[in-house]
Structure 1
Amino acid sequence: MAASAILRPSLSLHASPSLYLFHEGPYFRQTLRKGPPKCKIYALFWGPKKNSGSRELSPSLGPYPVTASTTEVDMQQISVSVASSILEISSEDWDACGIDATGNEHFNPFTTHAFLSSLEESGCSTKETGWVPQHIVARDEKGNVLGVVPLYLKSHSYGEFVFDYSWADAYHSYGYPYYPKLQCSVPFTPVTGQRILVRDTVYKSQVFDVLVEALKDLTIKLDVSSLHITFPSENEWHKLKNRGFLQRTGMQYHWKNRNYKSFDDFLMDMRQSKRKNIRQERKKISTQNLKMKRLRGDDIKALHWDSFYSFYRNTTDNKWGRAFLTRDFFHNMGEKMGDKVMLIVAEEDDKLVAGALNLIGGDTLFGRLWGCLPHAYFPNLHFEACYYQAIEAAIDLNLSKVEAGAQGEHKIQRGYLPVTTYSCHYILDEGFRKVIGNFLVNETAQVKHVIKLLCESGPFKEEIMKQHEFS
């Protein structure tokens, strides 16, 4: 029986608010009063025995003909290959693609060779952890790298932050294997950024198209269920709409710098009650004998990373149940990325008690991870380290925004407003693609509705909130 025939009755139940609430956190359950409780999923290896080990990894693709956009350049043939490690590609070639794709003003530290190679070299994104590197590389006839795509063959859905567990469940219910799948993303990092990184040449748009076709061809060649591009730029999201990808939206909380000169300048844009609350929260830090420091580059020593790793493990052990990142990752990443890393730490009597990890982009401060000593309790320290210190740092560095990630409606009252995030999904099976597409239409309407509700309760003065509605 065709997948569409057997799926439609069952998935009509899933394509309701209850499915959306299952994976989007407590606010949605409180607002819409629907949805089953959260549960932990420990294994997602369903379907017939067919895994990444039985496939021909890193196959060759192409060549792909490309017609240049000017008459001065003859038709080119682009070869596309798959790299089983980012170390097979020079950092100069990879990063040149990244810079050309975004420009220095929108530089994204997470798609750099330094960040991605730190994940691989430290054992975080490897075959053993279910993240098999399958990076796409496009070259011209002379072997010059024209474009790259960070890509992984996944045997689970952990560390992605765009949740498709219910899709896997639907596949499993009808005996179809959902895993492995292809994932175009930055592992363990819910940060928006360019995913298809292309050099600035006269045929840049054609190279982009070739890389998209290569991604789709690889999905078919590896005989996997699907390809997922998570947290792409909005521009990429729109481009992929007419290339066979389903479109999905999500939500995060970002702070916007409106040319503030100081933290107090920012506070003056807030309603009086919210401004008063933030000032009271910040005062409590000094009364607890805590000293905040912002460390960058060489100021971050090995002992800082060792301490932060213990903070991180305390958070994962108590909240997530699994630590995706290793101690070596923090050391490697800190050494490779230098001043692009900002570690905000809290000290009590010269002892490190908590920390928040941030990365600095071209126009954005990216807040990533937070943790503190086990059994330590310092009221409001989390708000200070993760939100207020980040805002002050962004103002000092003249950055346009702070991305504080998903979840946590408490961020809104501290100046971080909801924004839309994006993902694209290429589903091979026609029946599943149709039903998931119907679900995503409903989900998108819900996301828009929730963002509207959250903005209505925003902490800023009315004229500021109106600006946010149209930004």
Structure 2
Amino acid sequence: MSILSSNYRFKFNTSIEQIGQTVWDDLAMGCSPFCQYTFLHALETSGSVGGQSGWQPYHLVIYQNSQPVGILPLYKKTHSYGEYVFDFAWANTYRHYGVNYYPKLVAAIPFTPVTGARLMLNKEVDKQQLLPILCQEISNQLEVSGMSSMHWLFVEQNLSQLLHTHGQIQRKAVQFEWFNHQYTSFEDYLTFFNSRKRKNVKKERLKITNQGVKVVRLHGDSLTEELMGFFYHCYQQTYLKRSGHNGYLTEAFFKQIFKDLHKNLMLVIALKDQQPIASALFVFDKNQLCGRYWGALEEIQNLHFECCYYQGIEFCIEQDIAHFNPGTQGEHKILRGFEPIYCYSNHSLREQAFQEAVERFIQQENTHITEYKNNAEKLLPFRQTDE
């Protein structure tokens, strides 16, 4: 479907293949691996989205003078799983009043709670001019399609603030990220901890060695299909224990990103008696490392911290990567030097009464979010500068 609006034309697409890799990657140039065609295409062709997954691709391409000048990855959702911006209470309220919350529309990277580009534009496009037209176009689309609402998830702060000025309610949450202040080694990093917290980290890492576990990092051409297969087995086991299913992402997805994105993958493998027992998979580029998936076949004290946090920190120092997003939630990250930061989403609900109710809810929630972030900052392990 395409609609002319001002000098822009908008077209919604039900698969990424309708857009094509050349157009997509030209507009996503410089964005994270998660925003690239190969990652999103792997999600679709592997069955991780589409079909009965509850994620139906609905990607928006923006044209100007018949040329594609912008892309917004969009999905029609029939549930709220795999988003990590929680609106289950909103859905319950809709149900209470006998109104359908689903389907809804989300601008997001499925199963990926990482802040990044959502609206990817040609550098010549005036974002300030485009946004009110785009918001109106999306509002029209909600109306004609019967979707309840539009949700922009893990949006960069500047875009979130612009969206807020155009009626898209801004919501804040807290994640924990590690920042590389030009550390020369993990030992150098620990010198910035206070004495007690530094000793705790060293004890945690020593316990791994004392339990006979060796941990290695592999990336790029050192990865193999066999190791990726072992990782997927670990991934499945984690979801089976936690949720009773095999995980949102299919084996075909991991095989595809191993083929197409192996230069952006880093795999941590834990071995005991020379046999692999756990693994963690990371995605990275020159700016950021993201810890995404983890699993273990044997319970080993502190092994999660080692594989998912300390190995990632060492890799960032080694590769001169600026920051490390280890995944969403988890106050235990604070004591290991992951700092609380705000992440942003924006929301617009078609029914005005629900829009006003959500806005009141978020205003109240923001007070608690601010207090939570302030309290978390007080728990960071770094020593005072005058110590």
Give the TM-score, by structure 2 length. 0.96
2:12 equivalent to 1:82: yes
Aligned counterpart in structure 2 of residue 362 of structure 1, from 276, 286, 311: 286
Q: Where does residue 9 of structure 1 map in the other structure?
A: none
Q: Which amino acid aligns with 1:199?
A: N
2:87 equivalent to 1:164: yes
Q: Where does residue 341 of structure 1 map in the other structure?
A: 265
- Contact 1:355–1:370 (8 Å) recurs in 2: yes
Give the TM-score, by structure 1 length. 0.79
Matched residues, percent identical? 36
Q: Where does residue 434 of structure 1 map in the other structure?
A: 356
2:163 equivalent to 1:222: no
Q: Where does residue 191 of structure 1 map in the other structure?
A: 114
Report Cα offsets for 1:403-460 as digits up to 9, x if no partner.
1122221111111121111100011111111111001001011001011111112111
Taking structure 1 as reference, are residues 249 and 203 closer, same or farther at Cα in structure 2, changes over 3 Å only?
A: closer
Q: Where does residue 13 of structure 1 map in the other structure?
A: none
User: Map of 1:323-342 to 2, 5 A cutoff?
Assistant: 323-342=247-266
Structure whose CA Rg is larger: 1
Secondary structure of 2:79's counterpart equals coil
Q: Where does residue 96 of structure 2 map in the other structure?
A: 173
Distance 2:362 2:274 in 1: 51
Q: Where does residue 194 of structure 2 map in the other structure?
A: 271
Report Cα offsets for 1:81-131 as digits up to 9, x if no partner.
1111111122222122122xxxx4xx3111111111111110011031111
User: Map of 1:14-413 to 2, 5 A cutoff?
Assistant: 59-60=1-2, 62-65=3-6, 77-99=7-29, 104=30, 107-142=31-66, 144-201=67-124, 203=126, 205-322=128-245, 323-373=247-297, 376-413=298-335
Taking structure 1 as reference, are residues 208 and 338 closer, same or farther at Cα in structure 2, changes over 3 Å only?
A: farther
Q: Which amino acid aligns with 1:412?
A: I
Q: Which amino acid aligns with 1:389?
A: Q
2:380 equivalent to 1:461: no
- Contact 1:84–1:132 (8 Å) recurs in 2: yes
Q: Which amino acid aligns with 1:351?
A: Q
Report Cα offsets for 1:202-261 as digits up to 9, x if no partner.
545444554433322222221211011110100111000111111111111101111111
Q: Which amino acid aligns with 2:198?
A: R
Distance 1:432 1:365 in 2: 38
Q: Where does residue 374 of structure 2 map in the other structure?
A: 452
- Contact 1:196–1:208 (8 Å) recurs in 2: no
Taking structure 1 as reference, are residues 208 and 197 closer, same or farther at Cα in structure 2, changes over 3 Å only?
A: farther
Distance 1:175 1:121 in 2: 36
Taking structure 1 as reference, are residues 361 and 214 closer, same or farther at Cα in structure 2, changes over 3 Å only?
A: farther
Taking structure 1 as reference, are residues 79 and 305 closer, same or farther at Cα in structure 2, changes over 3 Å only?
A: same
- Contact 1:108–1:362 (8 Å) recurs in 2: no
Secondary structure of 1:314's counterpart equals helix
Distance 2:221 2:19 in 1: 27
Distance 1:379 1:179 in 2: 42
Q: Which amino acid aligns with 1:63?
A: L
Secondary structure of 2:84's counterpart equals coil
Q: State the 1:289 CA deviation.
A: 2.4
More strand per residue: 1 or 2? 2
- Contact 1:347–1:353 (8 Å) recurs in 2: yes
Q: State the 1:290 CA deviation.
A: 1.9
- Contact 2:43–2:253 (8 Å) recurs in 1: yes
Report Cα offsets for 1:368-401 as digits up to 9, x if no partner.
111011xx12111111100000000001111111
Distance 1:140 1:241 in 2: 24
- Contact 2:131–2:163 (8 Å) recurs in 1: no
Taking structure 1 as reference, are residues 351 and 223 closer, same or farther at Cα in structure 2, changes over 3 Å only?
A: same
Secondary structure of 1:462's counterpart equals coil
Q: Where does residue 6 of structure 1 map in the other structure?
A: none
Q: Which amino acid aligns with 1:92?
A: T
Q: Where does residue 51 of structure 1 map in the other structure?
A: none
- Contact 1:198–1:207 (8 Å) recurs in 2: no
Distance 1:406 1:202 in 2: 32
Q: Where does residue 70 of structure 1 map in the other structure?
A: none
- Contact 1:85–1:134 (8 Å) recurs in 2: yes
Q: State the 1:361 CA deviation.
A: 2.7
Distance 2:103 2:380 in 1: 41
Distance 1:332 1:429 in 2: 41
Q: Which amino acid aligns with 1:284?
A: K
Taking structure 1 as reference, are residues 160 and 435 closer, same or farther at Cα in structure 2, changes over 3 Å only?
A: same
Distance 2:127 2:79 in 1: 33
Q: Which amino acid aligns with 1:119?
A: L
Q: Which amino acid aligns with 2:189?
A: F
Taking structure 1 as reference, are residues 202 and 87 closer, same or farther at Cα in structure 2, changes over 3 Å only?
A: closer
**Gapped regions of structure 1 (runs ≥ 5):** 1-58, 66-76, 465-471
Q: Which amino acid aligns with 1:383?
A: F
Secondary structure of 2:89's counterpart equals helix
